[in-house]
Amino acid sequence: MSKKILLIDGNSLAFRAFYAMYQQLDRMVTPEGLHTNALVAFNNFLESIVLPMQPDMALVAWDARSGKETFRGDLYDDYKAGRDKAPSEFKEQFPYLREMVEAHGLHNYEQIGLEADDIIGTLSRVGEKAGDQVIIITGDQDLTQLVTDSVTVKLTKKGVTQVEVYTPDFIMEKFGITPAQIIDKKALTGDTSDNYPGVTKVGEKTALKLLKEYHDLDNLYAHVPDMKASKMKENLINDKASAYRAQKLATIITDAKLEIGLSDLVYREPEEKGLVTLFEKLHFKQALSKLRAHSLLDEDFAEAAEDSEKKQGNFAAVKELNEAALTQLAKEKSLAFHIDTTGDNYHQADMIAYAIGNDQVGYYASRDLTLLGSETFKRIIESQEIALRLFNAKAHWVLLHRLGLNLAGVDFDFLLVAYLLDTVGNDNVLSTLAGRFGRYLASNEEIYGKGAKFAIPEDETVVLEHVGHKAQTIFDLRDQAFADLDEHEQGHLYHDIELPLSFVLAKMEAQGFTVNEDRLSKMGQEMEEQIASLKDEIFQMAGEEFNINSTKQLGTLLFEKMGLPVIKKTKTGYSTAVEVLEKLAPQAPIVEHILAYRQLAKLKSTYVDGLLAVVDPADHKVHTRFLQTLTQTGRLSSVDPNLQNIPMRTEAGRKIRHAFVPSHDDWLIFGADYSQIELRVLASITGDPAMEHAFVEDEDIHAETARKVFGLADDAPIDADQRRTAKAVNFGIVYGISDFGLSKNLNIARKDAKSFIETYFQEFPKIHQWMAAIKEKAHQDGYVETIEHRRRYLPDINAKNFNTRSFAERTAMNSPIQGSAADIIKIAMIKVNQAIEERGLQAKMLVQVHDELVFECPKEELEQLRETVTTVMDQAVKLAIPLKVESHAGPTWYEAK
């Protein structure tokens, strides 16, 4: 009986595995500090590729310790030189790979003097002679030279779970040559990764052409003298020695003396005990729970194999959508829907293709946008009866809104759920997030390219399959993702906060904020004049012209030519940051000018020119996008433009706000903000009586803190400096205090800062206790939570490096505070939106700035809106401490704060 022999190129696959999950490197670390990304990917490979194959014999071959010990090292000194050293994050995973291979029932083998290739080459010939079927899995194209009718090579393409199958026919079709000629192809081209040259200027194309004409290297050189004079001929003659050396280096040994034979390679079933031990050591939660489930149900391996095959993308055929299919789809209870666009900015991006379907009726895709205008499609999108599954509901709401449709009935937003489950390493990309659930599909980058290379593939079926697979992935992942959500107790956070909020945000974005472009341009002109005259003065004082925007040139002037003292350095040179320049200002009058120039240049470029560039000429509005699934704490962020960092602190900057106006005459801008929300949250979750008292009595919290840390009477007067110090201490507490940080911020001695903190903790003991407890929880669980169970994992919390660990500890203290404040304003936004609708107000919510909401409304609605908004914000959540809301209104955003 013919046997199935599996030979695996361990080194090349391990490398592939490491880089396939390189983006996840920082996420995948055990509490002991061991990186596991390559191990996770390699395990996926063993489970999803090897297990379903059920081979009779299986071996993972490894390179001997150093290439120099092989004959190739003797033959060519630079063999594999110049190869990037494997990073330590990779090396540390290596020992576990062998253990993993063993536990999965395969054998490991390496032999001094041989590379993995040679072991595989030799065994493949042995197997072939015995009449067996040999399958080689590798990431190295060299091995394809071994292909015969009974030896196939599976070459990994992207990552380690997608392979291309090389047979003699396939090679002929792809290259037009036979497997044996692969060696001579390499002889001519050389190998950059192994660092040996072939013939100068001969690449793959030329090599294939020559081989088709002359068949092999010997025959080619026999005919070189007959070739007509050319640069190539010269190169062939000059590099003849190099070509023959490359030929030797590229030839895989097929007759090495091995200490093992086929009979030593019998494949055993995976060993459950060994796997459990290993997975526990590596903290593979998913793999462990899968293993447990399987052993509990006593599933046989055929079923396990089927399961893992499904996981890595056994996609259903994607069908072309038409009216008839749409009618069929409209009868379904739940459907996945997905649109691909030409860019991230869904306010203006074009739709490329879309897909819709479920596991019952299958998946349909189309590029025909007219179908989206049909009544049937409208029913599907707008009906509450059809539960929709999407990836990024907010983006889809806006895209559909542009078509005049009102998205409703959303059940599952995979992006939101994935973000709530784990914020770390979330790149907002479907393919990556699906990978976390063991589902693999092509990334947009693979299909469309990125940056300047972005292009829609000519072959329409590629695009249709891509969106179709996305829809299927989204559909399939719903139950698992919701189960995880439940396990985290995050059902409420998703269903009652984030999902409803996404539609509130969509509306705000689509509404847009009107910009008075004339006003903004005029400000820009004035700034330009001031910038020009500052520039003149600076050049005159410096005695030369230079680029003031260049920190490098500025550094040279200040610290070398003028000889000012270096106060701080950056990685690349002298620091010229504000705090540095402020210290230098008394010593050199030019510095004041530079500071003024800097401020104006920033305002002009970012807020005048930058803003004008993104105003939509059709409606004179800016339509920001609020990123709901980006920050580690649960806050929103805002891009294109960022409306959350419009200047406020300096008068010159604040004037920019004059350009933000209502969209109608006789309307106003109204702003409402939470006062001291983070300190109130802190007081509430720690239950500190002293702080609670201050807030319940609505006292000046910074003054009150000053009395405490300076040991003054309850009614003692506080001077400005004392208050400023106390305010800095309060801020420090919220950010996860350190004495050094506070000393730097207040410009005081470290021991004074330390004593402030100690006194603070004596006066607010519950805060001290909470800080210690939250750090302890983080060390125990690896994550912290907000009042609404928003979770933040802290992969570095047990790091050996003090800095890294300290940073994680401060984060552990800050995130529950910042995140709970984010929870509160999000709840308020949903309730405010609802209240505005219920009361039939015309007012529109436009922007959220972390503790502030901005609206536009008709003048006559102002007081009603003020009452509505402040009450709803006040009452958004039930805390032990009252919340306080302040509000302002006026003709522009300038007056509304």
660, 514 Cβ separation under 8 angstroms: yes
Q: Which helix (H) or strand (E) holds 120?
A: helix 116-129
The piece of 206-214, 330-338, 358-366, 635-643 that touches DNA (CB under 7 A) is 635-643
Q: Rule CB under 7 A: is residue 747 a binding residue for DNA? A: no
Q: Rule CB under 7 A: is residue 738 a binding residue for DNA? A: yes
The piece of 99-107, 322-330, 576-584, 659-667 that touches DNA (CB under 7 A) is 576-584
Strand, helix or coil for residue 594: helix
* Footprint (CB under 7 A) of DNA, residues 284-303: none
- Alpha-carbon span 197 to 36, nearest angstrom: 35
Instruction: Decide whether 9 or 852 has the Cβ nearer to DNA.
Output: 852
Cβ-proximal residues to 162 (8 Å cutoff; 6+ apart), any chain? 156, 440
* Beta strand residue intervals within 665-727, DSSP E: 667-674
Two structure tokens written together for 664:
């109608």
Provide, rounded to whole angstroms, the least separation between the CB of residue 783 and DNA.
13
Q: Rule CB under 7 A: is residue 549 a binding residue for DNA? A: yes
Q: Which of 54, 162, 521, 551 binds DNA (CB under 7 A)?
A: 551
Q: 754-793 mask for DNA (x: CB under 7 A)? A: ----------------------------------------
Q: Which of 221, 315, 710, 731 binds DNA (CB under 7 A)?
A: 731
Q: Rule CB under 7 A: is residue 676 a binding residue for DNA? A: no
Q: Which of 460, 640, 700, 752 binds DNA (CB under 7 A)?
A: 640
Provide, rounded to whole angstroms, the least separation between the CB of residue 735 and DNA.
3
Instruction: Decide whether 331 or 649 has the Cβ nearer to DNA.
Output: 649
Q: Which of 224, 577, 772, 773 binds DNA (CB under 7 A)?
A: 577
- Alpha-carbon span 765 to 730, nearest angstrom: 14
Q: Give the residue ranges of DSSP H helices in 340-440.
A: 375-382, 393-402, 414-421, 430-436
Q: Which of 851, 853, 856, 865 binds DNA (CB under 7 A)?
A: 851
CA atoms within 13 A on the CB side of 642: 9
Q: Rule CB under 7 A: is residue 628 a binding residue for DNA? A: no
Q: Rule CB under 7 A: is residue 806 a binding residue for DNA? A: yes
Instruction: Decide whether 341 or 605 has the Cβ nearer to DNA.
Output: 605
The piece of 150-158, 355-363, 584-592, 849-857 that touches DNA (CB under 7 A) is 849-857
The piece of 79-87, 300-308, 362-370, 605-613 that touches DNA (CB under 7 A) is 605-613
* Phi, psi angle pair for 564, to nearest 5°: -70, 150
- Alpha-carbon span 504 to 392, nearest angstrom: 14
The piece of 37-45, 536-544, 593-601, 888-896 that touches DNA (CB under 7 A) is 593-601
Residue 61, strand partner residues:
9, 109
* Footprint (CB under 7 A) of DNA, residues 809-838: 810-811, 814-815, 818
Compute CA distances 258 → 120, 123, 128, 137, 147, whole Å.
Answer: 11, 9, 16, 20, 21
The piece of 27-35, 410-418, 594-602, 832-840 that touches DNA (CB under 7 A) is 594-602
Q: 193-212 mask for DNA (x: CB under 7 A)? A: --------------------
* Phi, psi angle pair for 180, to nearest 5°: -60, -30
Q: Rule CB under 7 A: is residue 850 a binding residue for DNA? A: yes
Instruction: Decide whether 471 or 821 has the Cβ nearer to DNA.
Output: 821
Instruction: Decide whether 88 or 547 has the Cβ nearer to DNA.
Output: 547
Strand, helix or coil for residue 411: strand
State the DSSP code for 67. G
Instruction: Decide whether 814 or 820 has the Cβ nearer to DNA.
Output: 814
Cα angle 649, 650, 656; round to 5: 95
Two structure tokens written together for 310:
């499904």
Instruction: Decide whether 30 or 599 has the Cβ nearer to DNA.
Output: 599
Instruction: Decide whether 310 or 810 has the Cβ nearer to DNA.
Output: 810
Q: Give the residue ranges of DSSP H helices in 637-688.
A: 651-654, 677-686
Q: Which amino acid makes up residue 806?
A: S
- Look-up: residue for tokens 């030369």? 544
* Footprint (CB under 7 A) of DNA, residues 21-40: none
Q: Rule CB under 7 A: is residue 410 a binding residue for DNA? A: no
Provide, rounded to whole angstroms, the least separation between the CB of residue 833 and DNA.
20
Instruction: Annotate 198-215 with b (16+ C-beta within 10 A) or e (fewer).
Output: bbeebeeeebbebbeebe
Q: Rule CB under 7 A: is residue 613 a binding residue for DNA? A: yes
Provide, rounded to whole angstroms, the least separation between the CB of residue 49 and DNA.
31
* Footprint (CB under 7 A) of DNA, residues 457-476: none
* Footprint (CB under 7 A) of DNA, residues 323-382: none
Q: Which of 226, 572, 617, 838 binds DNA (CB under 7 A)?
A: 572
Cβ-proximal residues to 304 (8 Å cutoff; 6+ apart), any chain? 51, 294
Instruction: Decide whether 502 or 575 has the Cβ nearer to DNA.
Output: 575
Q: Rule CB under 7 A: is residue 550 a binding residue for DNA? A: yes
> Which of 105, 119, 96, 95 lies closest to 50, judged by CA?
105
Q: Rule CB under 7 A: is residue 586 a binding residue for DNA? A: no
Two structure tokens written together for 629:
């699934």
Q: Which of 37, 392, 638, 798 binds DNA (CB under 7 A)?
A: 638
The piece of 41-49, 191-199, 628-636, 872-880 that touches DNA (CB under 7 A) is 628-636
Q: Which of 200, 637, 871, 875 binds DNA (CB under 7 A)?
A: 637
> Which of 443, 414, 845, 788 lies closest to 626, judged by CA?
845
State the DSSP code for 143. G
Q: Which of 852, 861, 881, 885 binds DNA (CB under 7 A)?
A: 852
- Residue 589, preceding peptide bond in cis (omega within 30° of 0): no
* Footprint (CB under 7 A) of DNA, residues 438-457: 451
625, 632 Cβ separation under 8 angstroms: no
- Alpha-carbon span 252 to 71, nearest angstrom: 11
- Alpha-carbon span 737 to 754, nearest angstrom: 10
CA atoms within 13 A on the CB side of 891: 5
Burial class (CB in 10 A: 0-12, 13-18, 19+), 458: exposed
- Alpha-carbon span 761 to 691, nearest angstrom: 12
Q: Rule CB under 7 A: is residue 744 a binding residue for DNA? A: yes
Q: Which of 295, 540, 570, 780 binds DNA (CB under 7 A)?
A: 570
- Alpha-carbon span 287 to 476, nearest angstrom: 19
Q: Rule CB under 7 A: is residue 575 a binding residue for DNA? A: yes
* Beta strand residue intervals within 44-132, DSSP E: 57-61, 107-109
Q: Which of 200, 341, 553, 759 binds DNA (CB under 7 A)?
A: 553
Q: Rule CB under 7 A: is residue 650 a binding residue for DNA? A: yes
Q: Rule CB under 7 A: is residue 392 a binding residue for DNA? A: no
Provide, rounded to whole angstroms, the least separation between the CB of residue 727 and DNA.
9
Sign (positive or negative) of CA dihedral 185, 191, 196, 199: positive
How many chain residues touch DNA (CB under 7 A)? 76
Q: Which of 225, 241, 666, 802 binds DNA (CB under 7 A)?
A: 802
